[in-house]
């Protein structure tokens, strides 16, 4: 776009500095997670741990029950992801490929709820869960995350790209609508499904305020909640806390690294949030 030499040099300098700014905190927290308490409080600090230790991970996983929290987070994130993938693709398919009365209006209502964040309507949701005596349950933790407004919009965009002739041909061969959805549409929308799946999983994994209000017993804590509560204790030990942060980030990074092409494509086509 701008090939002037000055711009190119400025680009390299600015982007390199910002890349350091983006990555340095990770390097620092990973280094801290492997340090002994004595080394963490060293002034000035060593950059890399002199005697790397797994003590911090052991403490956070066993003494602080993070294994249990990770399990809870996985159950919630996977449950939410599967449900969102199913509902979003189905609703997206129907909105993309069928004509029916009120279609535009219904889609608009769904879309309008997209800009309203969970924080603004979580009180009635909490009251519903409270009245159903479901506090501290997986069902309550997953419940607001079984659908995703953005997911419906996203899958509709993806499925609109599938040619009608394909679906028509299947229909002439006598395929049922559900067969068309499960065998043709899902197959052709695979890349979009992956991007949405990653997004739904990480949204549910990263969600903090809903577990905070719904959960009071420690055995239902999620990784995020456990980490936030643990680091708020009167004396914060940065070793185990750093190990906890690393544990909470690594699954996201792994998923992102594996599927980055799908994700970047999803962002490029519809502004999929990260």
Partner 1 sequence: MSIASGQVLSPPTSARRGRLATSLARLRRQHILFVLATLGPILLLFGVIRVYPILETIRLSFYNYHITQLRRPFIGLENYARLLDDDSFLTALLNTAQFSALSVVITLTLALAVAILLRSIERAAPGFELLFYIPVVTPWVPAAVIWKWIYDPMYGVLNLGLSLFGVPRLGWLQEPNLIVYAIVLVSVWKLLGYFVVIYGVGLRGVPEELLEAAELDGATAWQRLVHVVLPLMRPIILFSVVICTIVCFNVFAPVYVLTASAQGAPAYDFKVLVGEIYQNGFVFYHMGYAGAECVVLLLCVLSLIAVQLLAFRER
Among 82, 110, 134, 184, binds partner 1 (CB under 8 A): 110
Q: Minimal distance in Å, beta carbon 213 to partner 1?
A: 5
Among 124, 163, 165, 173, binds partner 1 (CB under 8 A): 124
Q: Minimal distance in Å, beta carbon 174 to partner 1?
A: 10
User: In angstroms, rounded to a whole number, what is the distance separating the alpha carbons of residues 38 and 226?
Assistant: 25
Token code pair at residue 38: 């004595």
Q: Minimal distance in Å, beta carbon 106 to partner 1?
A: 7
Angle at 272 between CA 266 and CA 107, to 5 degrees: 105
* Residue whose structure tokens are 């519903």: 128
Is 51 a binding residue for partner 1 by CB under 8 A? The answer is no
- Which span (62-70, 113-121, 132-140, 155-163) binds partner 1, by CB under 8 A? 113-121
Is 165 a binding residue for partner 1 by CB under 8 A? The answer is no
* Residue whose structure tokens are 């869960």: 129
Is 133 a binding residue for partner 1 by CB under 8 A? The answer is no
Residue 140, classified by CB atoms within 10 Å of its CB into exposed (0-12), middle (13-18) or buried (19+), is buried
Q: Minimal distance in Å, beta carbon 225 to partner 1?
A: 8
Is 22 a binding residue for partner 1 by CB under 8 A? The answer is yes
Is 149 a binding residue for partner 1 by CB under 8 A? The answer is yes
Is 144 a binding residue for partner 1 by CB under 8 A? The answer is yes
Residues 207-226 contacting partner 1, CB under 8 A: 208-209, 212-213, 224
Q: Given the complex with partner 1, which of 54 and 127 has the nearer CB atom?
A: 127
Token code pair at residue 103: 């279609």
Is 38 a binding residue for partner 1 by CB under 8 A? The answer is no
Is 264 a binding residue for partner 1 by CB under 8 A? The answer is yes
User: In angstroms, rounded to a whole number, what is the distance separating the alpha carbons of residues 7 and 4?
Assistant: 5
Query: Quick check: 79 and 65 in contact, CB under 8 A?
Result: no
Among 50, 52, 121, 166, binds partner 1 (CB under 8 A): 121
Is 105 a binding residue for partner 1 by CB under 8 A? The answer is no
Q: Given the complex with partner 1, which of 54 and 254 has the nearer CB atom?
A: 254
Q: Minimal distance in Å, beta carbon 29 to partner 1?
A: 5
Task: List, in sequence order, the alpha helices (H) in 60-160.
Answer: 66-97, 103-112, 122-131, 138-142, 149-160
Identify the CA nearest to 156 among candidates 115, 103, 98, 95: 95
For the chain, how many residues are written?
A: 274
Is 56 a binding residue for partner 1 by CB under 8 A? The answer is no
Query: Quick check: 202 and 272 in contact, CB under 8 A?
Result: no
If one counts every other C-beta atom within 10 angstroms of the C-beta of residue 273, the result is: 11
């Amino acid at each position: 776009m701008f090939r002037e030499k000055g711009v190119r040099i400025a680009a390299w300098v600015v982007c390199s500095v910002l890349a350091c700014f983006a990555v340095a905190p990770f390097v620092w927290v990973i280094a801290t997670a492997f340090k002994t308490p004595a080394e963490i409080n060293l002034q000035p600090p060593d950059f890399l741990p002199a005697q790397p230790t797994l003590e911090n991970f052991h403490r956070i996983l066993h003494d602080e029950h993070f294994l249990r929290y990770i399990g809870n987070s996985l159950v919630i994130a996977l449950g939410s992801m599967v449900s969102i993938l199913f509902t979003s693709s189905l609703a997206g398919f129907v909105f993309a490929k069928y004509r029916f009365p009120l279609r535009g209006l219904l889609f608009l209502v769904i879309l309008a709820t997209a800009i309203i964040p969970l924080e603004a309507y979580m009180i009635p949701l909490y009251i519903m869960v409270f009245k159903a005596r479901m506090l501290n349950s997986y069902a309550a933790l997953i419940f607001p995350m079984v659908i995703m407004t953005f997911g419906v919009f996203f899958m509709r965009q993806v499925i609109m790209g599938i040619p009608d002739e394909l679906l028509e041909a299947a229909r002439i061969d006598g395929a049922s609508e559900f067969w068309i959805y499960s065998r043709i549409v899902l197959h052709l929308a695979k890349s979009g499904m992956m991007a949405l799946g990653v997004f739904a999983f990480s949204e549910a994994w990263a969600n903090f305020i809903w577990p905070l209000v719904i959960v009071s017993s420690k055995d239902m804590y999620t990784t995020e909640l456990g980490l936030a509560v643990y680091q708020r204790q009167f004396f914060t030990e940065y070793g185990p806390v750093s190990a906890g942060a690393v544990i909470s980030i690594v699954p996201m990074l792994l998923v992102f690294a594996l599927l980055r092409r799908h994700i970047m494509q999803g962002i490029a086509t519809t502004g999929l949030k990260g």
